[in-house]
């Protein structure tokens, strides 16, 4: 809908621009016609010419008004259409922080609440309502292919509605300058058929089983020691809220809010020195040696 | 270049004028407009913030007290009289009258400035307690800066009139100074009503 | 004291050349400004102040351009590592702050300060020392910003400094405080210029110059001066009284947990911010009319329409600000109102363009470098104006807000609608300021490089915005595919740089050794062309009587003037507000150091306030000395004054 409006406006604008530029050029070209001049070289314009000019200018102004009125009407129509949304929808609470997104799927049964970060799954074809809050500064959630953007403002709760008609992965980005890593605050909205979505939701609300392999157990202990202060994993004692929740971390396609793809190598490099990828990021470089790092990563890789 | 033809003689035009004929009157009007508009913006901010609260003043913030602010408002209204008399004297080129009434204006103005300290604390909250306090203190604080500036202007003018031989234009300056004083007082009345009286009423 | 009657009209007579020369020589002496450093620091001549204003503002244009070039270098490739996020944030903030606060508005004010008195036939502005104080305040702001940038304390929260990012919690340190005070100084400067322009245009016009004979350039400056009076206080209130206090003394204007509101900042800032762009644009289009008239050899079509269009645009400009906030939770009905207003404002501007086209179509056109730039203005600005109308649509804006589409739009209107007419004005009025003409060939190179550069740089940005590239990002990922258009934009930026370099070379060479211009090289019609190039300090030997809006195109054999102003002191003629009848005489102040001194005191006060409240007290104390000095200068006794009492009697003092 917005695209149609945009193309119409662009088309009309292009025509208007062309008309004005051509009119200017034509007006300037008429040097051949002899103008009535006084002895001082000045042009004295006759009454008749003046009247004609008045009519031309008046018509042009009227045409301008008509074009603008048309734009206005079209815009109002699109605006009203976009504002229509049903009462029932899946509601997801999204909170923007410097420089990542947390998402929370509410459920009356507390054990089915899902908290995730940076990748938001939604069912295809259903209206989705995002309730947007900001934890620190103003952010703006924007997924271009799905809808316009909406600001996340501290002190306010704003709403964004959309409906994904086709399944797929839609990339979005923060669209309000929010500090050092505003450029790297991306997110993904993954639209999947309702059955798959339900399955994902069920899996996401299930805590991961505790590890049995001794390497993985050691990895989890390292996690508790170094990472649990800021990160959380459902089913463990890690309850940190400063950084993104890492439950089912391996099911995400990217890390660092859409900056890197979620591979073992990237993860290793990221943990070793986050600031190399996102200077100014709040996550510090953790002081662990390579072996410990490998163990930790091995553990994280199991969080599907 | 065309030859010049003398088409008017300016040599008998006045060199000192009063009111809109004089440049300083316009300068004073400009300053009044700018400062008044700034206060209007601050007041708009104060009213905007009000919608974030159910109670106004916010819960646990007392009402502003009315005693000293009301006395001060009364003093300000009274001070219009000597200010006007000084301006009238200026318009008559009456040097003694100007000296007398400027001195009286200064006396009352100084009292007003001194009492202004208590006006601020009469808000019964600090500027860093909450947004209500911030807005109220900023408004009163900004008006205080205008008050102090005006007082300094008036004191300076009075001292010049008492201790220096001044040009005739100084009489026009007296009228402009009073003009500015009326606006400083005038703009305070609605602010006093909104900030001090208002919370008790609505 | 004796009474006397009003002046009697003498019989008009041709003035002997000897008399004129003698008067001019006496005026040369009385109005002399010493050529020493002290003379320069204490100058009260509006042309001296205007020139330094123009040059400083132009240097800021270059500085802002360098910042832009660095940004473009960083963005030329995806995931580039030339400039890191911290430096980049300082760069784009300083670029915006420099261009908007330190170049555009001061430059338009500077052109007004230099030309409004000349165009209305006055000797100086109404408040020369205030004028000087305004310039020095501006200069303090320039120094503050650039010293801070070089010691890594440059502001980094954007030129619009949204809270809470710019608040005490998320911008610790002094960077944003620097920004807030730069705004304070430039706001003071703009207000000083505005008051001066309003009072000069109202009270100091040539005899016979009624309101309907004022040049359009002056009308534009006058309208904008009023806009400054009502817009600047908003940003000053926001930055100095709300943001700086939140940061320095723990106020809560913008702190939601204590009842503050992050949106309040946006309202206050954009209430200023939208008129701000018209404050830049309207003076520029005020420059179009005199140039078009001169190079089509006819009076512009639709003088009244043009004046009304300027006034209407100014009013409407104050009713658009929410269109910067369409993605915030402001109620839809309110947003729709602002959409309508934002579209309606295109109508008066369109009217002005139609009037110019009508003028060109019925005049005898001469293509000169100024006219080339005016064509560039139409070509570029109309594009920007149309994308502006598109942006007014809430639905469309919700997609392209905060993307490079907006960057494209704003540069098209500012460069096309502000800078191109400004360059045209430089070529047109350079001869008047310096006495020499700018080179023609280099002028054409400048024009073509600039027009091509602007379009190559900014057109691709429309597409980048539509493809999803947000603003204010120091880099972007390779898979987005935005690399090639960004590279193109960067190349365009260097074409712009080349064009500006050509202009600088042209200006530097022509200033020294350009072709001599004479009083009126273009055979234009305004009063500024009735005196020498450059004009003497006192502008005109005698105030010129005008009988039309185009004084130098009047067909009288002689030029009527008013005699009788004293030459032993700096006397000027004041006229009535509406009709322009001679009304009184006014004595201009002598050169004075107090404006510079007071500006420095303001510097101590406001910059010091960032660090400690004691500086505020100290600054007030120092300022008091300055104000006393200033006042004392005005209170030298004068003999034999003619006083017009309010009851219309005229008395003479001893």
pLDDT for A91-143, tens place per residue? 999 999 998 999 999 888 888 888 899 999 999 988 899 999 999 999 999 99
- Looking up residue B148, the CATH number of its domain turns out to be 1.20.120.80
- Number of Cβ pairs < 8 A linking chain B and chain C: 248
pLDDT tens profile C45-86: 999 999 999 999 999 999 999 999 999 999 999 999 999 999
SS3 B5: strand
The beta-carbon neighbor of B8 closest among C4, C582, C634 is C582
Contact map slice: C 496-525 vs A, CB within 8 A: 523
Residue-level pLDDT at A123: 92
Question: pLDDT at residue C401 above 90?
Answer: yes
Nearest CA among C360, C289, C366 for reference residue A56: C360
pLDDT at A29 over 80: no
List all residues of chain C from 66 to 85 with a beta carbon under 8 Å from chain A. 84-85
In DSSP notation, C626-643 reads HHHHHHHHTT---SS-EE
Write down the pLDDT at residue A43: 81
Average pLDDT, chain C: 93
B168 touches chain C (CB under 8 A): yes
pLDDT tens digits, A98-112: 989 999 998 888 888
pLDDT tens digits, one per residue of C244-280:
999 999 999 999 999 999 999 999 999 999 999 999 9
Interface test with C, best of B1, B2, B7 (most C CBs within 10 A): B7
Q: According to the model, what pLDDT value does residue B52 have?
A: 87
- Cβ contact C351–A61 (<8 Å): yes
Return the residue of C nearest to A12 by Cα: C386
Compute the nearest-CA separation of C365 from chain A (Å). Answer: 6
The arithmetic mean of pLDDT across residues B40-64, rounded, is 92
Q: Is A43–C296 a contact, with Cβ atoms under 8 angstroms apart?
A: yes
Structural domain span for residue B89: 66-201
Please name the residue of chain A whose CA is at the shortest distance from the CA of residue C330: A158
The answer to whether residue C258 neighbours chain A at the CB level (below 8 Å) is: no
C41 pLDDT higher than 90? yes
Identify the band that residue A35 occupies on the pLDDT scale cut at 50, 70 and 90: low
Is the C-alpha dihedral spanning C241, C242, C243, C246 positive or negative? positive
Q: Is the peptide bond before C42 cis (omega within 30 degrees of 0)?
A: no
Chain A within 8 Å of C559 (Cβ-Cβ)?
Answer: no
Which pLDDT tens digit goes with each residue over B77-136?
A: 999 999 999 999 999 999 999 999 999 999 999 999 999 999 999 999 999 999 999 999
Q: How does strand C559-563 pair with strand B4-9?
A: parallel
Give percent above pLDDT 70 in chain C.
98
Q: What is the pLDDT of residue A27?
A: 85
User: Under a CB-based contact definition with an 8 Å cutoff, are residues C17 and B1 in contact?
Assistant: no
Q: Which of C198, C230, C261 sits opposite B49 (nearest CB)?
A: C261
Find how far residue C567's CA is from the centre of its chain: 33
pTM over 0.80: yes
**Residue C1 pLDDT class (50, 70, 90 cuts):** very low
pLDDT given at position C64: 97
Residues in contact with B10: Cβ distance below 8 Å, sequence separation at least 6, in sequence order: C7, C543, C562, C563, C564, C565, C573, C582, C585
Q: Among A25-39, A179-193, C202-216, whose mean pLDDT is lowest?
A: A25-39
pLDDT of C6: 47
**Residues C422, C111: Cα–Cα separation, whole Å:** 9
If phi over 0 gives left and psi between -120 and 50 gives alpha, with beta otherwise, what is residue C481?
Answer: left
Report all structural domains of chain A as residue ranges with CATH numbers, in order of start.
90-204 (2.60.40.420), 214-300 (2.60.40.420)
For C147-175, the pLDDT digits (tens) are: 999 999 999 999 999 999 999 999 999 99
C3 pLDDT higher than 50: no
Residue B181 in domain: yes
Q: Which residues of A touch C252 (CB under 8 A)?
A: none
Beta strands in chain A (DSSP E): 90-97, 100-105, 114-117, 119-123, 127-134, 139-142, 150-152, 158-163, 168-174, 186-192, 254-255, 260-261
CB contact under 8 A, B166 and C635: yes
Q: What percent of chain A has pLDDT over 90?
A: 43
B58 within a domain of the structure (yes/no): no
| Mean per-residue pLDDT, C238-248 | 94
The pLDDT tens digits of the residues spanning C92-103 come to 999 999 999 999
Q: C531 — phi, psi (to 5°)?
A: -130, 175
Measured between beta carbons, the chain B residues lying within 8 angstroms of C242 are: 45, 138
For the structural domain made of C40-652, what CATH number should be given? Answer: 1.20.210.10
Supply the ipTM of this predicted assembly. 0.95
- Token pair 């009474």: residue: C3
The fraction of chain A above a pLDDT of 70, given in percent, is 96
Question: Which of B27, B30, B32, B153 to mutate against chain C (most C CBs within 10 Å)?
Answer: B30
Nearest CB partner across the interface for C251, out of B4, B30, B127 = B127
Which one of C294, C304, C327, C550 would you mutate to disrupt binding with A, by most A Cβ within 10 Å of its Cβ? C327
On the question of pLDDT at B49 being above 80, the answer is yes
**Structural domain tally of chain B?**
1
Distance between CA B93 and CA B173 in Å, rounded? Answer: 11
Task: Identify the band that residue C638 occupies on the pLDDT scale cut at 50, 70 and 90.
Answer: confident
Predicted confidence (pLDDT) per residue in B2-19, tens digit: 889 988 888 889 999 999
Please give the pLDDT value at position C4: 42
Domain ranges of chain C: 40-652
Q: Would you call B56 an interface residue with chain C, using a CB distance cutoff of 8 Å?
A: no
Q: Compute the residue count for chain A.
A: 304
**Cα C64 to Cα C70, C142, C158, C268, distances in angstroms:** 10, 12, 14, 25
**Chain A contact set for C477 (CB, 8 A):** 259
Burial C418-453 (b: 16+ CB within 10 A, else e): bbbbbbbbbbbbbbbbbbbbbbeebbebbbebbbeb
């Amino acid at each position: 809908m917005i695209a149609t409006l945009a193309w119409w406006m662009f088309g009309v604008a292009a025509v208007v621009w062309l008309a004005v530029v051509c009119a200017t050029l034509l007006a300037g070209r008429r040097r051949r016609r002899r103008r009535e001049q006084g002895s001082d070289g000045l042009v004295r314009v006759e009454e008749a010419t003046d009247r004609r000019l008045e009519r031309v200018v008046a018509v042009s102004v009227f045409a301008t008004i008509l074009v603008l009125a048309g734009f206005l009407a079209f815009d109002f129509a699109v605006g009203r259409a976009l504002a229509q949304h049903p009462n029932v929808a899946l509601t997801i609470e999204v909170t923007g922080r410097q420089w990542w997104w947390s998402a929370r799927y509410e459920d009356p049964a507390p054990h089915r609440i899902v908290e995730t970060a940076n990748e938001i799954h939604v069912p295809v074809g259903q209206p989705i309502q995002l309730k947007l809050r900001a934890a620190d500064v103003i952010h703006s959630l924007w997924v271009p292919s799905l809808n316009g953007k909406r600001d996340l403002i501290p002190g306010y709760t704003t709403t964004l509605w959309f409906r994904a008609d086709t399944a797929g992965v839609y990339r979005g980005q923060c669209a309000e300058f929010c500090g050092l890593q505003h450029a790297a605050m991306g997110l993904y909205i993954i639209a999947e058929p309702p059955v798959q979505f339900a399955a994902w939701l069920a899996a996401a609300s299930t805590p991961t089983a505790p590890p049995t392999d001794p390497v993985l157990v050691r990895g989890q202990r390292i996690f508790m020691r170094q990472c649990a202060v800021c990160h959380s994993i459902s089913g463990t004692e890690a309850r940190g809220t400063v950084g993104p929740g890492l439950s089912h971390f391996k099911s995400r396609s990217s890390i660092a809010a859409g900056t890197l793809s979620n591979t073992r190598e990237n993860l290793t490099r990221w943990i070793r020195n986050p600031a190399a990828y996102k200077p100014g990021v709040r996550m510090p470089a953790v002081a662990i040696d390579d072996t410990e790092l490998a163990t930790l990563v091995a553990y994280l890789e199991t969080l599907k | 270049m065309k030859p010049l033809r003398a088409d008017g003689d300016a040599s008998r035009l006045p060199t000192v004028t009063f009111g809109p004929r004089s440049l300083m009157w316009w300068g004073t009007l400009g300053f009044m407009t700018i400062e008044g508009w700034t206060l209007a913006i601050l007041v708009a901010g104060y009213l905007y913030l009000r919608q974030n609260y159910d109670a106004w003043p916010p819960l646990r913030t007392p009402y502003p007290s009315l005693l000293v602010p009301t006395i001060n408002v009364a003093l300000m209204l009274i001070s219009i009289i000597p200010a006007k008399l000084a301006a009238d004297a200026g318009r008559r080129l009456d040097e003694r009258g100007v000296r007398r009434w400027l001195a009286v204006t200064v006396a009352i103005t100084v009292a007003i400035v001194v009492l202004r300290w208590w006006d601020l604390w009469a808000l019964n909250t600090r500027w860093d307690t909450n947004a209500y306090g911030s807005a109220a203190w900023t408004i009163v604080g900004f008006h205080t800066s205008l008050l102090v500036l005006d007082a300094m202007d008036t004191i300076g003018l009075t001292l010049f009139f008492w201790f220096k031989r001044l040009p005739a234009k100084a009489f026009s300056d007296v009228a402009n100074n009073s003009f500015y004083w009326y606006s400083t007082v005038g703009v305070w009345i609605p602010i006093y009503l909104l900030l001090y009286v208002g919370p008790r009423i609505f | 004291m004796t009474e006397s009657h009003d002046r009697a009209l003498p019989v008009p007579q041709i003035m002997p050349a000897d008399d004129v020369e003698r008067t001019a020589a006496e005026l040369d002496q009385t109005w002399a400004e010493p050529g020493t450093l002290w003379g320069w620091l204490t100058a009260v001549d509006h042309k001296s102040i205007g020139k330094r204003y123009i040059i400083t503002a132009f240097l800021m244009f270059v500085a802002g351009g360098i910042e832009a070039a660095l940004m473009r270098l960083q963005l030329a490739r995806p995931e580039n590592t030339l400039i890191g996020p911290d430096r980049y944030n300082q760069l784009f903030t300083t670029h915006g702050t420099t261009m908007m606060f330190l170049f555009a508005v001061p430059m338009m004010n500077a052109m007004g300060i230099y030309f409004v008195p000349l165009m209305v036939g006055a000797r100086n502005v109404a408040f020369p020392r205030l004028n000087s104080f305004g310039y020095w305040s501006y200069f303090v702001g320039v120094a503050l910003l650039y010293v801070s940038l070089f010691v890594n304390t440059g502001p980094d929260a954007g030129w619009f400094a949204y809270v809470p990012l710019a608040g005490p919690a998320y911008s610790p340190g002094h960077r944003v405080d620097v920004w807030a005070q730069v705004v304070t100084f430039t706001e003071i400067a703009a207000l000083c210029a505005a008051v001066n322009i309003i009072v000069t245009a109202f009270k100091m016009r040539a005899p016979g110059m009624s309101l309907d004979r004022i040049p359009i350039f002056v009308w534009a400056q006058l309208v904008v001066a009023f806009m400054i009076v009502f817009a600047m206080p908003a940003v000053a209130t926001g930055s100095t009284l709300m943001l700086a206090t939140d940061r320095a003394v723990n106020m809560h204007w913008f702190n939601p947990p204590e009842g503050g509101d992050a949106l309040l900042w946006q309202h206050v800032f954009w209430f200023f911010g939208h008129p701000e762009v018209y404050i830049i644009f309207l003076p520029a289009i005020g420059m179009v009319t005199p140039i078009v008239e001169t190079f089509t050899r006819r009076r512009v079509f639709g003088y009244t329409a043009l004046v009304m269009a300027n006034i209407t645009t100014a009013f409407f400009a104050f009713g658009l600000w929410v269109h910067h906030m369409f993605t915030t939770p402001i109620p839809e009905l309110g947003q729709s109102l602002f959409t309508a207003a934002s579209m309606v404002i295109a109508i008066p501007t369109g009217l002005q363009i139609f009037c110019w086209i009508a003028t060109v179509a019925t005049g005898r056109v001469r293509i000169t470098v100024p006219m080339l730039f005016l064509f560039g203005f139409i070509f570029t600005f109309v594009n920007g104006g149309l994308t502006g109308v598109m942006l007014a649509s809430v639905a469309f804006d919700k997609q392209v807000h905060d993307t490079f589409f907006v960057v494209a739009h704003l540069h098209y209107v500012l460069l096309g609608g502000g800078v191109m007419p400004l360059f045209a004005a430089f070529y047109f009025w350079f001869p008047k300021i310096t006495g020499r003409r700018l080179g023609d060939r280099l002028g054409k190179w400048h024009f073509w490089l600039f027009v091509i550069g602007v379009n190559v740089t900014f057109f691709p940005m429309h597409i980048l915005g539509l493809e999803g590239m947000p603003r204010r990002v120091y880099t972007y990922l390779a898979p987005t595919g935005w690399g090639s258009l960004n590279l193109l934009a960067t190349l365009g930026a260097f074409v712009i740089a080349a064009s500006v370099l050509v202009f600088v070379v042209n200006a530097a060479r022509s200033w020294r050794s350009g072709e001599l211009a004479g009083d009126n090289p273009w055979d234009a019609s305004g009063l500024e062309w009735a005196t020498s190039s450059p004009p003497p300090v006192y502008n005109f030997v005698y105030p010129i009587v005008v009988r039309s809006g185009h004084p130098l195109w009047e067909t009288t054999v002689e030029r009527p003037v008013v005699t009788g102003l004293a030459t032993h002191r700096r006397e000027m003629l004041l006229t009535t507000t509406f009709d322009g009848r001679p009304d009184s005489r006014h004595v201009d102040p002598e050169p004075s150091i107090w404006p510079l001194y007071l500006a420095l005191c303001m510097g101590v006060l406001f910059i010091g306030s960032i660090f400690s409240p004691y500086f505020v007290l100290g600054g007030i104390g120092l300022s008091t000395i300055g104000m006393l000095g200033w006042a004392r200068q005005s209170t030298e006794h004068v003999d034999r004054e003619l006083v017009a009492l309010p009851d219309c009697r005229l008395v003479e003092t001893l």
